[in-house]
């Protein structure tokens, strides 16, 4: 039986908030016959607290669960986060040196220095290393701090570590084509590379939506516009709030905007809505997955709302948006995703940060139920074909099988 370590800083364990990709992958590979250890940190990234390890029952998981100490941080873009990841990387090295009898290492990147610790250990041991590229550092950091020369100097270590990792990988999994190809932008290497969207388990999404739908209070005749995800600097929620104001000015009182999630700019945007008396916008807050699914399926149209400079491509929420079977209004600038929206026909691309354009797009869907239905059907079809994890993650298993049998 081949033994694999999956290394991730942001995994969601029982009862936590967070990212499920790597937990699902650990379960998936365990079911496929691999011996899997999931290595993560004592710090819970999404809730910004230290985990109580005494309350975590490792026997509840079908895979091995190992923790490395990380001191933590309060903000996502913060020098303390850089230090915290550096300490986590050092502790990962120590763990691997004493317990690293693996046939393959699989690590997310970012964080770059943690991935580098895994990559260097794999090279020293002569075992394959797979990088799962689900964001781009330092590119994404420039959303918050983009000062000529200063940012170049500050973010150089991130770029340096990323290139070192990309030079050591045996295979690459990207959560989009853009992320998949990033390791080869400066290095010409002939190694396997695949795209596997973050995706979701559609059966779980459907079950949650069905169970919680009765708890979603939607008045007859209302047309709901939804957003679910982080409320932060990359995400253009302000334009959604102001579009609500514009739609009210136009007399479209039956159109309601529902914003699910939390993040660093949520309070500021709630205050904006209060000051301007924008009553058709509701900040629902964080919702557990089943309740989020119920809200998404209760909406009539969903908005993938990004600022113009956002570097993201095909993000986590897309699988859930598509599974909801609703049309999408997309403001993400990624050429890859904009092309996908057009080619697959599940939504429309519009310019970011323009209140009138967004309000016009919402109004067009509100006036055309047939368009909502046809695009919604296409969305669901793409979800089932390309984003359903039990199908799509087979490609990761095949890559691991190829690398461990060489």
Q: What's the CA gap between 247 and 397, in Å, rounded?
A: 48
Residue 144 clears pLDDT 60, i.e. is over it: no
| pLDDT band, very low/low/confident/very high, at 97 (cuts 50, 70, 90) | very high
Residue 335, pLDDT above cutoff 60? yes
- Domain 202-387 carries which CATH code? 3.40.50.2000
- The predicted pLDDT at position 136 comes to 66
Q: Domain extents for the chain? A: 3-197+389-404, 202-387
> Per the CATH hierarchy, to which homologous superfamily does domain 3-197+389-404 belong?
Glycogen Phosphorylase B; (3.40.50.2000)
pLDDT tops 90 at residue 143: no
Tens digit of pLDDT for each residue in 38-48?
A: 999 999 988 89
With a threshold of 0.85, does the pTM exceed it? yes
Return the structure tokens found at 144.
Answer: 């918050």
Instruction: Check if 3-197+389-404 and 202-387 are the same fold.
Output: yes
Amino acid 126: pLDDT: 97
Whether the per-residue pLDDT at 300 is higher than 80: the answer is yes
pLDDT band at 340 (very low <50, low <70, confident <90, very high): very high
Q: Give the pLDDT confidence score for residue 241 in this predicted structure.
A: 98
Compute the average pLDDT of residues 19-26.
94
Per-residue pLDDT reduced to its tens digit, 217-257: 999 999 999 999 999 888 999 999 999 999 999 999 999 99
Average pLDDT over residues 376-395: 97
List beta partners, residue 131. Answer: 107, 172
Instruction: Report whether 245 contacts 239 (CB < 8 A).
Output: no
Looking at every residue in the chain, the average pLDDT score rounds to 93
Q: In this structure, are strands 49-50 and 43-44 parallel, antiparallel, or unpaired?
A: antiparallel
Report the candidate in 190, 192, 242, 219 with the shortest Cα–Cα distance to residue 356. Answer: 242
Per-residue pLDDT at 153: 58
Confidence band of 374 (pLDDT split at 50, 70, 90):
very high
Instruction: Tell the residue number behind the tokens 């000051």, with chain if given.
Output: 275
Residue 5 tokens, joined: 């370590």
What per-residue confidence (pLDDT) applies to 186? 83
């Amino acid at each position: 039986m081949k033994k694999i370590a999956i290394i991730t800083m942001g995994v969601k364990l029982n009862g936590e908030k967070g990212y499920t990709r790597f937990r699902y992958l650990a379960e998936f590979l365990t079911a496929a016959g691999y011996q899997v250890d999931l290595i993560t940190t004592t710090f819970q990234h999404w809730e910004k607290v230290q985990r109580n390890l005494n309350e975590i029952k490792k026997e509840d998981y079908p895979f091995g669960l190992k923790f490395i100490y990380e001191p933590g941080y309060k903000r996502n873009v913060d020098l303390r986060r850089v230090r915290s990841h550096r300490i986590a990387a050092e502790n990962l090295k120590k763990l691997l040196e004493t317990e690293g009898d693996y046939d393959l290492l699989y690590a997310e990147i970012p964080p770059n220095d943690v991935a580098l610790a895994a990559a260097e250990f794999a090279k020293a041991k002569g075992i394959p290393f797979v990088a799962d590229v689900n964001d781009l550092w330092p590119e994404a950091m420039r959303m918050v701090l983009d000062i000529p020369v200063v940012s170049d100097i500050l973010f150089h270590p991130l770029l340096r570590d990323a290139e070192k990792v990309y030079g050591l990988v045996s295979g690459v999994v990207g959560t989009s084509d853009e992320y998949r190809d990033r390791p080869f932008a400066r290095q010409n290497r002939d190694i396997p590379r695949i795209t596997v969207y973050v995706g979701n388990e559609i059966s779980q999404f459907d079950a949650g939506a069905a169970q919680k739908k009765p708890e979603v209070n939607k008045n007859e005749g209302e047309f709901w516009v939804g957003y679910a995800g982080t409320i932060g600097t990359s995400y253009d929620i302000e334009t959604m709030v102001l579009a609500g104001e514009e739609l009210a000015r136009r007399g479209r009182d039956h159109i309601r905007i529902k914003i699910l999630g939390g993040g660093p700019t949520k309070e500021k945007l709630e205050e904006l809505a209060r000051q301007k008396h924008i009553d058709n916008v509701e900040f629902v807050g964080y919702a557990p997955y089943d309740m989020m699914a119920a809200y998404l399926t209760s909406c009539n149209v969903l908005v993938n709302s990004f600022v113009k400079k956002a570097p993201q491509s095909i993000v986590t929420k897309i699988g859930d948006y598509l599974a909801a079977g609703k049309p999408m209004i997309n403001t993400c600038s990624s050429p890859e995703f904009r092309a996908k929206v057009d080619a697959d026909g599940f939504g429309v691309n519009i310019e970011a940060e323009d209140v009138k354009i967004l309000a016009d797009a919402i109004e067009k869907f509100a006036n055309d139920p047939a368009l909502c239905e046809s695009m919604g059907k296409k969305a669901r079809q793409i979800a089932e074909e390309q984003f359903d994890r039990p199908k799509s993650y087979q490609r990761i298993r095949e890559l691991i099988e190829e690398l461990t049998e060489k």
